[in-house]
Amino acid sequence: MRWTGAQIRSFLLWIIFSISTGFIVFLHLYLLAPGVDAGIHMYGAYLLTRGFLPLQALWNNKPPLIYFIGTVGFLLKSNPFLGVRILELLIFFFNLYLIHKIVKAVSFGRSVVYLITFSVIYLLCWDQGFLTETFVIPIILLTLYLSLEKNKYFEFIGAFLMVLAFLLKQNAAILVAGILAIDLFGYYRGRSIRKKAIKYLISLVVYLGLVLLLLNAFGILEDFYDQVFAYNSRQYVQIPFGRRVVDHLRHNSFLSYRGISAVMIFNVSILVTAWNYWKRYRGGDRFAMKDHFLIGSIAIYAGAYYFVYISGKTYPHYFMLLLVPASFILGYYVMKSLAARLALCCLFMIAIYANLSMLNFNRQMEWGRKEVALYIDSHSVPEDRINIDRFGSQYLYVMADRLSNSKFIVPLQETNGYTDLYKKIIKEDFAGHPPRFVITNNNHYRPPDPANYYTQVLSRVMQGYVMVFENSMFRVYGRR
């Protein structure tokens, strides 16, 4: 039996898809030293297992749902982060299933192309995982799928998914809101805008009311407002809009080489596509279902883009919020253009190289943390508090089974971010819970920023400590 050209191409596509998904599974099971945000999220989950509420015992400018998700990992007591990795993989394959169903529903082409595109972009921006964005993706996909399926209870379910997205990451709700807006003003599920709007409004009022009641019942409503809204608002207004735009265009660190950003090229191609659709619309062309879907993907991508990068920062994992519409848009280009197929191949190679380069350091970090955790466990009691003065290693609290002496487990990066209340909390934390050990990097302790209030307090505290243990990654200081 001789294979046709189409069969060979299909076979190669499934081989590439198998390689990409297999590589993702390998990374999740091998890279077991959490990144910066993942370590904070794991500590928040650890607090819940110890009977503490994260918003009271942990300061972080994110909503609290990620900590509850993290508690699933603690079902595997010997290695909670491996437990979280298994959950992440289940979510990843659920995402692939939803993408396959969505592509089939809109007759968008070969679903395997979109599965590959999603996997490649995922590899580029996953940032070692267990991020709030990781769990927003299935919420966006599920909202889109239920809309396409014309679910009779969609308004109530969609509003609920929007609130869930917000409780993971504030600006993530914008993407779900985009889908709801298209559903509200579109005619795919019926033409009664007023009826749909009333259902959405009632649902949102009920769900948000329940959230506020729960937060108030647990006594964390004020902390929720301060960390999730007030702090982020204060930092946002300090950066002028024009400066944010210029910085984003000139200093976009994600997928940039010598000032040329792949994301900016992608954005330009999207604008060209939107312009071509506008010309077709003015010319009286009739659009197919797949055209409406692509236009909707572009609208959601463009509408959410500003809210994703509103802080002016361009960390790779920020793009994960745009991953769903970006996967459908890029997948459409790959189906149509040889240049897009070549670009996807280049991105795939970049993704493999970037992730492989992390393996050795991640393994060193994992073993370095294990040694420190064993030392702390054998030289202290569970009631002792410790302080980790190393940005990105907060998972050590979980490994050592010790609480932080302060709810500020990482210093605020903005020196002007310390309100009088924050200063009071830090001062009381160090006075009431002097750390048994302070863990720093393997160089002598040097304050990174003398103008930072947290650093000032810790610098004074460190005068009463001496080094008691070190390895290639860390130094441990104990009280004299």
Domain locations along the chain: 5-345, 360-479
pLDDT at 243: 74
pLDDT at 120: 97
Q: Does 271 score more than 80 pLDDT? A: yes
Q: Tens of pLDDT along 357-412?
A: 999 999 999 999 999 999 999 999 999 999 998 788 999 999 999 999 999 999 88
SS3 label, residue 439: strand
Q: Tens of pLDDT along 8-31?
A: 888 888 999 999 999 999 999 999
Q: Tens of pLDDT along 100-120?
A: 999 999 988 889 999 999 999
Name the band, by pLDDT with cuts 50, 70 and 90, for residue 456: confident
Residues in a beta bridge with 465: 479
For residues 64 and 192, which has the higher predicted lDDT (pLDDT)?
64
Angle CA(33)–CA(35)–CA(37) in degrees, nearest 5?
135
SS3 content of the chain, % helix, strand, coil (to 5): 70, 5, 25
Name the band, by pLDDT with cuts 50, 70 and 90, for residue 443: low
* Distance, C-alpha 348 to centroid of its chain: 20
Name the band, by pLDDT with cuts 50, 70 and 90, for residue 55: very high
Name the band, by pLDDT with cuts 50, 70 and 90, for residue 236: low
Token pair belonging to 400: 């050592």
Instruction: Compute the CA torsion angle 348, 350, 353, 358 (nearest 10 deg).
Output: -110
* Residue whose pair of structure tokens reads 């999603």 in the numeric block: 118
pLDDT at 447: 53
Report d(CA 72, CA 204) in Å as an integer: 27
Report d(CA 104, CA 180) in Å as an integer: 21
The one-letter amino acid at 270: I
SS3 label, residue 315: coil
**Residue percentage of the chain with pLDDT more than 70:** 97
Q: Tens of pLDDT along 130-154?
A: 999 999 999 999 999 999 999 999 9
Can you give the pTM of this predicted structure?
0.94
Q: Does 239 score more than 70 pLDDT? A: no
Instruction: Compute the CA torsion angle 131, 133, 134, 137 (nearest 10 deg).
Output: 170
For residues 239 and 328, which has the higher predicted lDDT (pLDDT)?
328
pLDDT at 367: 93
| Cβ burial 429-468 (10 Å sphere, 16+ → b, else e) | bbeebbbbbbbbbeeebeeeeeebbbbbbbeebbeebeee
pLDDT at 301: 97
Pick the closest to residue 255 from 342, 340, 349, 391 (CA basis).
Answer: 349
CB atoms within 10 A of CB 237: 9
Average pLDDT value for residue range 263-278: 94
CB atoms within 10 A of CB 7: 11
Name the band, by pLDDT with cuts 50, 70 and 90, for residue 448: low
Token pair belonging to 79: 């290695």
Q: Does 234 score more than 80 pLDDT? A: no
Rg for the chain, CA atoms, rounded: 24
Lowest-confidence range among 258-267, 367-376, 425-434?
258-267
Name the band, by pLDDT with cuts 50, 70 and 90, for residue 3: confident
Name the band, by pLDDT with cuts 50, 70 and 90, for residue 451: confident
Pick the closest to residue 227 from 359, 40, 394, 360 (CA basis).
Answer: 40
Q: Does 343 score more than 60 pLDDT? A: yes
Name the band, by pLDDT with cuts 50, 70 and 90, for residue 335: very high
pLDDT at 225: 95
Instruction: Compute the CA torsion angle 430, 432, 433, 438 (nearest 10 deg).
Output: 20
Pick the closest to residue 436 from 389, 383, 390, 370 (CA basis).
Answer: 383
Residues 6+ apart with CB under 8 A from 11: 3
**Residue percentage of the chain with pLDDT more than 90:** 75
Phi-psi region of 466 (alpha: psi -120 to 50; beta: other; left: phi over 0): beta
